């Protein structure tokens, strides 16, 4: 299975580890910060960290001429920005209402939505094992929701429980963002570094008015300023690796691998935060990994 050791897969795995640490850090070290304000502050810090990389690696010749961008390219750029921005805000709100080891496996079923979107919008081939992968990843959601008793209860919880609803909506938004990123990198010809700046900066600008509305001042938070700098560095590095992975791999492969970040978040949440039902959630995370493996074959 050469693809499993390809540079693209290795970069995607590295991105997954960093995103998993980031998800855990949000639950462990961030308190009292509205989702919009958190996103803006983290993205400002991420752009500051990433500026030297963008300046040294990007040149005017490497960027496509804005005058030549057609409607599909503009829509792809908008989808990448909105998918990441909306997905993150929804996820942060889900995280505020539910435990990280409960919310994260539900949120990381992004590949279930990526595959049909990439098939319909980008004309990608759907591997035969992809159907099995979708079934296994869906099973991971079931296990994450199951608490014994009526076997149909997890489905009702996924529909009625607010954290689960937000996590699933976030997954849909992230899927739109993932497919759009692949379109921007593969079809439009954006360099990965440019996509990082566009996504981080675009999300910042879109959410800035809402962040101003939600701003209550640092004195209302329990989160110190250095935390935002650390989170920004994590996001800048992870976003760069994510863009490189999407430039090298189809979205239907890169997205499942990157979303194994759920494993990191679940383990850290269970071991360090002592969250309940760690065993069941580890099973859910393991199923997600198996599903990812089938999707990536």
The candidate with the shortest Cα–Cα distance to 275, out of 286, 287, 264, 266, is 266
Asked if residue 236 has pLDDT above 80, the reply is yes
* pLDDT tens, residue by residue, 181-215: 888 887 777 888 988 998 999 999 988 998 999 88
Residue 243's pLDDT is what?
92
Residue 28 gets the label, from left (phi > 0), alpha (psi -120 to 50) or beta, of: alpha
* pLDDT tens, residue by residue, 268-279: 777 776 766 777
Asked if residue 173 has pLDDT above 60, the reply is yes
240 CB contacts (<8 Å, ≥6 apart)?
50, 53, 192, 193, 196
Whole-structure pTM value: 0.79
The candidate with the shortest Cα–Cα distance to 137, out of 113, 158, 119, 117, is 113
Among 228-237, 241-250, 266-275, name the one with the lowest average pLDDT: 266-275
CB count in 10 Å sphere of residue 49: 17
Asked if residue 282 has pLDDT above 80, the reply is no
Whole-number Å distance between alpha carbons of 120 and 115: 9
Angle in degrees, CA 191, 197, 198, rounded to 5: 85
* Averaged pLDDT, 161-170: 88
More confident residue, 169 or 116: 169
User: How would you write the chain as a 3-class SS string?
Assistant: CHHHHCHHHHHHHHHHHHHHHHHHHHHHHCCCCCHHHHHHHHHHHHHHHHHHHHHHHCCHHHCCCHHHCCHHHHHHHHHHHHHHHHHHHHHHHHHHHCCHHHHHHHHCCHHHHHHHHHHHHHCCCCCHHHHHHHHHHHHHHHHHHCCCCCCCHHHHHHHHCHHHHHHHHHHHHHHHHHHHHHHHHHHHCCCHHHHHHHHHHHHHHHHHHHHHHHCCCHHHCCCCHHHHHHHHHHHHHHHHHHHHHHHHCCHHHHHHHHCCHHHHHHHHHHHCCCCCCHHHHHHHHHHHHHHHHHHHC
Contact (Cβ atoms closer than 8 angstroms) between residue 260 and residue 80: no
Among 141-155, 255-269, 283-297, name the one with the lowest average pLDDT: 141-155
Phi, psi of 111 (to 5 degrees): -60, -30
Asked if residue 40 has pLDDT above 80, the reply is yes
| Placement of tokens 């990007």 in the chain | 58
Whole-number Å distance between alpha carbons of 12 and 256: 9
Radius of gyration for the alpha carbons in the chain, expressed in angstroms and rounded: 18
Structure tokens at 279: 């065993």
* Averaged pLDDT, 258-286: 74
């Amino acid at each position: 299975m050469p693809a499993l050791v390809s540079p693209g897969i290795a970069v995607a795995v590295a991105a997954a580890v960093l995103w998993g640490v980031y998800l855990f850090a949000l639950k462990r070290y961030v308190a009292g910060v509205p989702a919009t304000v958190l996103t803006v502050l983290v993205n400002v810090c991420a752009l500051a960290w990433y500026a030297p990389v963008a300046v040294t690696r990007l040149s005017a010749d490497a960027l496509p001429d804005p005058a030549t961008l057609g409607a599909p390219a503009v829509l792809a750029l908008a989808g990448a920005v909105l998918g990441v921005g909306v997905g993150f805000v929804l996820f942060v709100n889900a995280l505020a209402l539910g435990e990280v080891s409960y919310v994260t496996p539900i949120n990381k079923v992004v590949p279930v939505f990526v595959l049909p979107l990439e098939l319909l919008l980008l004309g990608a081939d759907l591997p035969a094992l992809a159907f099995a992968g979708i079934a296994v990843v869906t099973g991971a959601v079931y296990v994450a929701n199951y608490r014994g008793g009526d076997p149909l209860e997890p489905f009702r919880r996924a529909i009625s429980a607010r954290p689960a609803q937000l996590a699933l909506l976030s997954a849909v938004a992230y899927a739109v963002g993932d497919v759009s990123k692949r379109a921007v990198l593969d079809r439009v010809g954006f360099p990965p570094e440019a996509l990082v700046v566009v996504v981080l900066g675009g999300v910042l600008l879109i959410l800035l008015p809402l962040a101003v509305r939600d701003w209550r001042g640092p004195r209302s938070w329990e989160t110190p300023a250095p935390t935002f700098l650390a989170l920004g560095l994590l996001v800048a590095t992870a976003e760069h690796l994510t863009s490189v992975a999407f430039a090298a791999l189809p979205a239907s492969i890169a997205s499942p691998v990157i979303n194994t970040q759920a494993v990191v978040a679940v383990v850290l949440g269970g071991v360090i935060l002592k969250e309940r039902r760690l065993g069941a959630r580890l099973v859910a995370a393991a199923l997600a990994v198996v599903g990812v493996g089938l999707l990536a074959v």
